């Protein structure tokens, strides 16, 4: 738990530093000060509200035991096994099979599943996936992933805003347009690299935790194999528009290569499956 708080602190400090670099490149000392203030405010906003922003971005709809009894009761049972407070449960109307968790702590957590994953998986396999997401909640990975997803986008907006208005240094000279253009690309890239540094290995831990909670490592392994096969051929438009959110999903939701591959913070699915197959049944 302390390790994740340390990672979160490093991430937030890195985000503020990035804002300062972008502001300095686009507007000199004055621009740096403004950007640092903006970065601090963005961190505070991200801590308290980024989970709701992500849920709204994906048009996630809350469900309960009346309108989605199977999913709700499944999450409730797994949360009890994991000794976690009952999270809010959401469904996203998307064909691609995927799922994620969000929130700032276990007391304010939410788990989301797409309609595609609910159609594709058996009940046993879906339990493995929901166990994986609750493991992210238990390990407090969700704050890191949600903040990085929200603020990486804010840095990109800041860079674009600076390029649009040109930015001026303190002595009144207009910032070099090449510097502004570079910041437009390098700032979100740098933010993405920070989130990769603190989140890439967490999937192995969530896989192991999810297998423990559901008591069936092969169920999650089977689910990952199915999801990976289908996700590669079914577009997820919201994720494609908001690349920084891709690292929140159980499987990389992005299609194509190039820059999109850099936004995949997931280990190879084959390696994840092999580790799960090697685990004993609970």
Whole-angstrom CA distances from 125 to 77, 131, 202, 229, 235 are 15, 10, 20, 15, 22
Give me the mean pLDDT over the 143-153 stretch. 70
- Using DSSP bridges, classify how beta strands 88-92 and 109-114 pair: parallel, antiparallel or unpaired: parallel
Q: Which residues pair with 100 in a beta bridge?
A: 112, 249
C-alpha–C-alpha distance, residues 263 and 66, integer Å: 37
What pTM does this model have?
0.81
Alpha carbon distance 49, 104 (integer Å): 9
CA dihedral in degrees (139, 141, 144, 150; nearest 10)?
Answer: -140
Residues annotated as part of the active site: 133
- Predicted local distance difference test score (pLDDT) of residue 169: 47
Tens-place pLDDT, residues 224-262 = 999 999 998 999 999 988 877 888 899 999 886 555 555
Task: Report the number of secondary-structure helices (H) and strands (E) in the chain.
Answer: 11, 4
pLDDT of 180: 56
* pLDDT at res. 197: 54
Torsion angle, alpha carbons of 106, 107, 108, 110, to 10: 50
Q: What is the pLDDT of residues 136-145, one digit of tens each?
A: 999 988 887 7
């Amino acid at each position: 738990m302390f390790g994740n708080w340390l990672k979160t602190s490093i991430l937030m400090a890195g985000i503020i530093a990035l804002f300062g670099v972008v502001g300095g490149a686009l507007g000199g000392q004055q621009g740096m000060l403004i950007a640092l203030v903006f970065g601090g405010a963005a961190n505070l906003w991200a801590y308290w509200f980024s989970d709701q922003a992500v849920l709204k971005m994906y048009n996630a709809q809350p469900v309960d035991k009346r309108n989605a009894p199977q999913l709700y009761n499944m999450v409730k049972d797994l949360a009890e096994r994991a000794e976690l407070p009952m999270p809010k449960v959401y469904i996203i109307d998307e064909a691609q099979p995927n799922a994620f968790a969000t929130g700032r702590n276990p007391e304010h957590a939410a788990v989301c599943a797409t309609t595609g994953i609910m159609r594709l998986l058996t009940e046993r396999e879906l339990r493995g996936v929901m166990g994986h997401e609750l493991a992210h909640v238990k390990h407090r990975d969700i704050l890191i992933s949600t903040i990085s997803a929200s603020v990486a986008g804010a840095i990109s907006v800041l860079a674009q805003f600076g390029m649009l208005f040109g930015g001026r240094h303190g002595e009144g000279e207009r910032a070099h347009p090449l510097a502004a253009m570079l910041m437009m690309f390098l700032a979100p890239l740098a933010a993405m690299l920070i989130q990769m540094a603190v989140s890439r290995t967490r999937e192995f831990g969530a896989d192991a935790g999810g297998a423990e909670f559901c008591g069936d490592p092969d169920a999650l392994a089977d689910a990952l194999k199915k999801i990976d096969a289908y996700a590669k051929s079914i577009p997820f438009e919201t994720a494609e528009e908001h690349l920084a959110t891709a690292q929140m999903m159980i499987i990389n939701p992005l299609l194509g290569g190039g820059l999109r591959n850099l936004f995949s913070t997931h280990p190879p699915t084959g390696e994840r499956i092999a580790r799960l197959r090697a685990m004993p049944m609970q």
